Structure 1
Amino acid sequence: MVATYGHLLVPSRPVDYVIPYTSIAELYDMRDSQEPVMDDPDDDAHVKAKINELIAFFEDSLNRKKIEKALQVPWRESAPLLLNDSIQFTIVNAVDNAQYGEIFDPVETELLLSSLKLNVPLLSDQFEFQDKLIDAEVPVQVYDIEDFEFAVEEGITPVDMEL
């Protein structure tokens, strides 16, 4: 989503994007696929360029070492990967389990388990995924991509969730 939605790269406040490692691996699939990421050819070229930039960022030797260290132990988090003054990434060696495997695909399961385990909200642009989270009564905070600035600036506290 960071490659697709440019406003995620210019948040009004500092943001730590917590990402399961498998989501980074998907960047390679997106880059190498013949299928377009976006419908418009100009948008598609721009997003694929951003994907290449993100891949280069994650392959940087210092960042790669931080990621490799996190991948040695299940659920280990990497040291922060600093993109700029406002954005850092934390990579999680998420481990899929059968808890939600019947309802969600493996990537969705890793996202929601990471959110639960690390007590961080989810950001999604997929209405079907959001609906499945609600229907399955998964106790995570999820923000639609359109509510990104609200999530960054105000958000909903755990106390608000209980109310």
Structure 2
Amino acid sequence: MRRRFVIEAVMVATYGHLLIPSRPIDYVVPYSSILELYDMRDGTEPVMDDPEDDAHVKSVIAELIIFFEDSLNRKKIERAMQMPWRESSPLILNDRIQFTIVHAVDNAHYGEYFDPIETELLLTSSKLQIPLLSDQFEFQDKLLEARVPVQVYDIEDFEFAVEEGISIKDTSQFGDS
């Protein structure tokens, strides 16, 4: 069975181990996160501190953009963009990885507390009832502080999330104490 995670597109480019999972994965990506890839590719700001790492990540970003712009993938994305919260058909990267693009809509549900991309990630995770992968400690802390009802894994715990994970049922016992 394919494990699903909500994630920003740039994280897939930044963390190489996400491209070689031990089990089949479906990365669910809000469309606005794909648009950020263009800004990162074309911008003058480095994505990574180390120049070699930055060049590598920017090349992976360029490869992801080419993948999303492929005519078949582009058509699947365009169909999803016709209605809010619609999911694309799977975009197959290889035998282990597929992407599902979601036309997430930031409805200011969390006000000014989270930025628009964070809000779309949260709403996508909540609406689809699938865990979120993040590398941002501040974001994870804000989730806990705001008591947002989503399951989040730190990117460093990716293999645990893929292999074992924690079910929503298991997490409910922590909130009731």
- Give the alignment's TM-score, normalised by structure 1: 0.99
Q: 2:48 is matched with which residue: 33, 38, 57?
A: 38
Q: CA deviation at 1:75?
A: 0.2
For the residues of structure 2 that align with 1:115 and 1:51, how far apart are their CA atoms? Answer: 23
User: Which residues of 2 match residues 1-163 of structure 1 at below 5 A?
Assistant: 1-163=11-173
How large is the RMSD of aligned CA atoms in angstroms?
0.5
Runs of 4+ in 1 over 3 A off after TM superposition: none
CA distance in 2, matches of 1:55, 1:102: 30
Task: Measure, in 2, the Cα distance between the counterparts of 1:102 and 1:57.
Answer: 33
Identity %: 79
CA-to-partner distance for each residue in 1:13-34, whole Å, 9 max, x for gaps? Answer: 0000000000000000000110
Residue segments in structure 1 that go unaligned for 5+ positions in a row: none
How far 1:101 sits from its partner (Å)?
A: 2.4
Inter-partner Cα distance in structure 2 for 1:112 and 1:158: 15
Aligned length: 163
Amino acid at match of 1:124: S
| Mapped partners of 1:73, 1:18: distance in 2 | 16
Please, what TM-score do these two structures have when normalized by structure 2? Answer: 0.91
> What CA distance in whole angstroms lies between the structure 1 residues aligned with 2:14 and 2:108?
30
Q: How many angstroms apart in 1 are the aligned matches of 2:151 and 2:124?
A: 12
Whole-angstrom distance in 2 between the partners of 1:155 and 1:19? 20
* Aligned partner of residue 2 in structure 1, secondary structure: helix
